[in-house]
Amino acid sequence: MGKKGHYLSSFLTFSFLRLVSLQSKQYALPGQMVTFEPVITTPPDEILWKHNGNKVVEFNGNEETVYNPFEKRTTLDWHAAVLEIKQLRHDDSGKYELDVLTNKGLSRFYFELEVIGKVAKPSISCKMNNGSSGSDKSGNEATLMCSADSSESQSLMFEWSQHGKIHLGPILKILLGKEYDDEAYNCTVSNRLSKEMAKFTAKECYLGKILLSH
């Protein structure tokens, strides 16, 4: 494969290794494409991309080799070392490392990717704090809980809105009117790439409707 062994011998010569700081973390949805763009000023002689320590693709100056599970999903620019990965999967998340050998020595770049799913339609539940549910009651307190199914719950952001007022977090305490209280509350759930909203009307607390989205 051309200059076989040239890359490894250069890699071991630590005095020629220039470390480049970690690039900004990127986010993408499953099925989308991501592009990692290092700043290369000299055309590379050899290129090696790794994902979590495992080879993704390498170019030895003559030939390119792509490794599982990235076959047929990558495009490597031999002149700029830019890497594109399409049809992204959740397990493509992680740390990417690039080693580039030029006539100036060996440079190393670091990138990070997180593949996150679209936000699911949220649902809203209501709990009467004093246990009352009769139509003759007024001024009952209730707690609204907004939730959305997600494997990435730690990255979800919750926001309640009512008459232009904003409250952050999945829980909102409200003061109920009588049974036909039509005060509306909106809950928006979002992550870095998508968002969904659900609407809840106060009278639904009296009707005992636990999960309601409009």
Tens digit of each residue's pLDDT (9 = 90 or more) over 155-196: 789 999 988 899 999 999 998 887 778 899 999 999 989 999
Look at residue 103 in the predicted model and tell me its pLDDT: 85
Q: Find the radius of gyration of the CA atoms of the chain.
A: 27
Confidence of residue 208 (pLDDT cuts 50, 70, 90): low
Together in a domain, 103 and 147: no
Together in a domain, 19 and 106: yes
The residue to which tokens 């996150």 are assigned? 116
In a domain, 54, yes or no: yes
Which of 80, 115, 150 is the C-terminal boundary of a domain?
Answer: 115
Closest CA to 99 of 61, 47, 56: 47
- 113 residue type, one letter: L
141 and 52 Cβ atoms separated by less than 8 Å = no
Higher-scoring residue by pLDDT: 129, 175: 175
Which of 115, 142, 164 is the C-terminal boundary of a domain?
Answer: 115
Domain count across the chain: 2
Tens digit of each residue's pLDDT (9 = 90 or more) over 14-73: 445 666 656 788 999 999 999 999 988 888 999 999 999 999 999 999 999 999 999 999
Closest CA to 35 of 68, 71, 69, 76: 76
Together in a domain, 36 and 107: yes
Together in a domain, 133 and 203: yes
Together in a domain, 106 and 140: no
Together in a domain, 63 and 84: yes
Together in a domain, 100 and 33: yes
Look at residue 138 in the predicted model and tell me its pLDDT: 52
Is residue 154's pLDDT more than 70?
A: no
In a domain, 180, yes or no: yes
The residue to which tokens 């649902």 are assigned? 123
For range 115-123, the mean pLDDT: 91
Together in a domain, 33 and 94: yes
In a domain, 213, yes or no: no
In a domain, 214, yes or no: no
DSSP code for 82: -
The pLDDT > 70 percentage for the chain reads 79
Together in a domain, 64 and 134: no
Together in a domain, 19 and 76: yes
46 and 19 Cβ atoms separated by less than 8 Å = no
In a domain, 1, yes or no: no
194 and 28 Cβ atoms separated by less than 8 Å = no
CATH number at residue 33: 2.60.40.10
Which of 54, 84, 115 is the C-terminal boundary of a domain?
Answer: 115
In a domain, 160, yes or no: yes
Q: Is 14 helix (H, G, I), strand (E, B) or coil?
A: helix
Together in a domain, 94 and 46: yes
The residue to which tokens 């409009």 are assigned? 214
Together in a domain, 66 and 152: no
Number of H helices, E strands in the chain: 2, 17
CA of residue 188 relative to chain centroid, distance: 17
Give the domain extent around 165.
Answer: 123-207
Mean pLDDT score across all residues of the chain: 83
